[in-house]
Amino acid sequence: MSLLALVEYLPGMLDQQLKSDADLRRFEYAVLLRLNRTPERTLPMLNLSAATFGSLSRLSHSVRRLEARGLVERRRKGGSRYVTLTHEGRHAFLAAAPGHVQEIRRLVLEHLPPGTAGDLAALLAPVAKHLGGIAPRN
Amino acid sequence: MSLLALVEYLPGMLDQQLKSDADLRRFEYAVLLRLNRTPERTLPMLNLSAATFGSLSRLSHSVRRLEARGLVERRRKGGSRYVTLTHEGRHAFLAAAPGHVQEIRRLVLEHLPPGTAGDLAALLAPVAKHLGGIAPRN
DNA sequence: AAAGATTGATTGGTCAATCTTG
DNA sequence: CAAGATTGACCAATCAATCTTT
């Protein structure tokens, strides 16, 4: 039940913080984060959708908006579409990251019994793995 | 990170199951559940919104739809509005519950290391309590 | 035809403004 | 006026249908 409460509360609260501090949705932040972690700051849509836990359709809409804001660029190459983080996008991500990490710390990590973050990770890792395995790939 | 993955995946998957098996959203299910647990199957909007982790506005929209489907009724009493589960609503809930519980078991509980469900609850309880305490009451 | 990606319609949620009752 | 509740405009996610490149 606590897990379900978290699942209900957390997304909304994280969204609010990101929106008011950086004008980004959680999902948009995840897109920028993944691109920034990648050597060429570039990924094909399909990989990006897997890395962000989102459907291709959701990603496509989201990337269109991010491109309109100048935070990413798209180019076609073969049967795939590559998305690249722009300088402006990188700046937006770097500006948003500390506040967001801090918010997660404030909302979650600080309230775990001391020293149990690793235990929590160990419990949830197999669940996350399973969900990732059966998630709808649309 | 596993927790964040859960928070991304779970809601969508639970919604899908509920929608296809019972034509209900997660939040609507929560509304029916709470009303069903209550002696007179009746609660004022404000209490119901707290019990379902939702804003008053969200609840209001949601209850309007549920009423249109005959699953709940509303009546005004003093400064408050009371929502009551109808027979039809109770049936819908009872029909949906086993499948939903089963889905949670299948997605989450079965993949926790055996005997650790209690540990997980112990870790997350203070976090859930904190989030409940600072959740926006709009 | 298949894989990758996009689009458009619909719908649920959020936010801010508003209504209603005590 | 304050508390409880509703409304409407807007935005993002979902779903199904479609387009494009190999």
Does nucleic acid strand D have an atom less than 7 angstroms from the CB of A81? no
Residues of chain A contacting residue B6, judged by C-beta atoms under 8 Å apart: 3, 7, 124, 127-128, 131
Q: Which residues touch strand C (CB under 7 A)?
A: A 12, 16, 19, 44-46, 56-57, 59-61, 63-64, 74, 79-82; B 25, 27, 54-55, 57-58, 61-62, 65, 76, 78-79, 136, 138
Among left, alpha and beta (phi > 0; psi -120 to 50; other), residue A86 is beta
Whole-model pTM? 0.93
pLDDT in tens, B90-103: 999 999 999 999 99
> Which region among A110-114, B65-69, B70-74, B130-134 has the lowest average model confidence (pLDDT)?
B130-134
B55 three-class SS: coil
Spatial distance from the CA of A19 to the C1' of D19 (Å): 33
DSSP string, chain A: -HHHHHHHHHHHHHHHHHHHHHS--HHHHHHHHHHHTSTTSEEEHHHHHHHTT--HHHHHHHHHHHHHTTSEEEEEETTEEEEEE-HHHHHHHHHHHHHHHHHHHHHTGGGSPTT-HHHHHHHHHHHHHHHHHHS---
Q: H or E segment at B75?
A: strand B72-77
Q: How far is B24 from chain A (nearest CA, A)?
A: 16
Q: Is the pLDDT of residue B134 over 90?
A: no
The answer to whether A89 CB sits below 7 Å from nucleic acid chain D is no
Do the Cβ atoms of A138 and A57 come closer than 8 Å? yes
B136 has pLDDT over 90:
no
pLDDT digits (tens, 9 = 90+) for A97-134: 999 999 999 999 999 999 999 999 999 999 999 998 88
Token pair belonging to B50 = 């707290």
